[in-house]
A and B are shown apart, each in its own frame.
Chain A
């Protein structure tokens, strides 16, 4: 796995060699070759250790953790990341460590802990002076707060994130999304759009969600596009625009099923059923609710009847 010692470059070249290895790891990870990515990072870590640069060792560890966390295999990495924080390593190492811990808790739906660590990541990113990372931390905070039903606070974080995101190239057009941060901005806008839908500010919600979904589609960011379509479907249901709501829910369902995203599929099936129900198509509504029940809750035979009869929109959070 590790690079042999004899291959180590001279100490003076260490940061460049380290950068090269981490860049290669990123390429491998983006191509889905995770074992190869982890191997590159092991080599990078060994290089850093040989050069006695603890900050780089920490960085290599946090990159490795990031890959494992995204693959839902990050549980064992959390103590190591916490150790970086406890040791109060360099601000960038601490920022990545805290951010990745927050991400782990976001993915495992422990939103209070996600918010706690996202705040630490934000503080450290401010020390580093990296607005793009601060924006990511604000977004993570917003996600945790939204999931925990702190709507106003979540909106504040998303707005802060948008302020900090590098501006689009054509500043005259706020919807110009041709630059590399476009998808990230669109994701934030989509989340903000869902918050506005929960507040009942539906015109604002749609004005955020439609362009966001378009940008996410253009960039091929399927999971975020799926989420934006679910949010759109929910907002349109509030306006009783049932056909459009069903169309977005149907697209989201296809995306969720192809990505094997159970939460997405559950929400999409629910919205599809709800759209049919509100439109008065009770047969279709019953079919979708029954499918939801059979796939996700086979032990609850009355669920479809219950959802046909009771409107639960005021009590559910698609982002929780």
Chain B
């Protein structure tokens, strides 16, 4: 749950749509034709000036066939520090049981930190 909440801070914004489009070598004209909006509106969307209906958004996602993994790979590259990425990499390389132990230890440290903060206040 904590992992999901952390990554949930990621927002889909126009700049990300532009990156995904470019990664697929699509022009604005091509993508706008596929999703049924005008090229000028797609341009505004990529600049953060144009909002779309849920239906149009899901058509965009379907066109990109974007997977969560791919989305977060690129988000991670943009928003995580090298130290964060190294930690995740090391965690992922641990055996499953060891990953559980790390998670338990993090939970323990969170409780301990909370108690420390309460006793200090």
Binding site for B on A (CB under 8 A): 109, 112, 148-149, 198, 263, 266-267, 270, 277, 280, 282, 296-297, 299-300, 302-303, 305-306, 308-318, 320
Contact = CB atoms under 8 A, between A and B. Distances in A.
Interface string B1-21: 100110111111110010000
Nearest to A300: B62
B12 A311 contact: yes
Contacts of B11: 310-314
Contact of B10 (A297, A300, A310): A310
Nearest to B11: A311
Interface of B: 1, 4-5, 7-14, 17, 38, 41, 44-45, 48-58, 61-62, 66-68, 71-72
B67 to A, nearest CB: 6
A263 B53 CA distance: 9
Given A300-B61, A312-B11, 15 more contacts: A149-B41, A266-B54, A280-B5, A282-B1, A296-B55, A296-B58, A303-B58, A306-B68, A309-B4, A310-B12, A311-B9, A312-B12, A314-B11, A315-B14, A315-B57
Given A302-B67, A320-B53, A280 B1 contact: yes
Contacts of A198: 51
Q: Top 8 A-B pairs ranked by shortest CB distance?
A: A317-B51, A320-B53, A149-B50, A311-B11, A312-B12, A310-B12, A149-B51, A305-B68
19 contacts: A109-B53, A148-B41, A148-B50, A277-B8, A280-B5, A282-B4, A300-B62, A302-B68, A306-B61, A306-B71, A309-B10, A309-B71, A314-B11, A314-B51, A315-B13, A315-B45, A315-B51, A315-B57, A316-B57
A305 B66 CA distance: 11
A303 B61 contact: yes
Contacts, number: 87
Contacts of B51: 149, 198, 314-317, 320
A302 B53 CA distance: 19
A318 B14 CA distance: 17
B9 to A, nearest CB: 7
Contacts of A112: 38
A318 B55 CA distance: 10
Contacts of A300: 58, 61-62
Nearest to B10: A310
Contacts of A315: 12-14, 17, 45, 51-52, 57
Contacts of B72: 309
Contacts of A297: 58, 62
A320 B53 CA distance: 5
